Amino acid sequence: MEHPGVEVVSGGAKDGADKYAKKFALEFKIPYSEFPPQHQTHNMYCVMEAYNYGKPYNVGYYHKRNKDLVKYSDKVVAFCKDGEITNGTKSALEYCKKINKKFVILS
């Protein structure tokens, strides 16, 4: 089944919404891309080139990843457990507001 114009994009976290977004996309053959923070390993789904990865840990890479992901996406869907918005999700949504990117929060 084709899904024209649809792509699932995530931050590449191993758990939570990112894990399920990846599983859903791959299971239903929807194009999938991810933006892990730069201190993690490059993989076949990364949008950025391999030389951007494998750097020493830096918490700032999470915020850079969020900005890159938001810029890349047409619209952003944030998933929040029990109505709680994590710091990372909050960071991404604040950047959405800053650049006037449409988003929705699902709880």
Q: Which helix (DSSP H) or strand (DSSP E) does residue 76 occupy?
A: strand 75-79
In CATH, 8-106 is 3.40.50.450: yes
Task: Extract the tokens encoding 9.
Answer: 């994009």
- What is the spatial distance between Cα 52 and Cα 2, in angstroms, rounded to a whole number? 31
- What is the spatial distance between Cα 23 and Cα 89, in angstroms, rounded to a whole number? 20
Spans of all domains in the chain: 8-106
Q: What is the pLDDT along the chain (107 residues), one digit of tens a residue?
A: 666 789 999 999 999 899 999 999 999 999 999 999 999 999 999 999 999 999 999 999 999 999 999 999 999 999 998 889 999 999 999 999 999 999 999 98
In tens, the pLDDT along 60-71 reads: 999 999 999 999
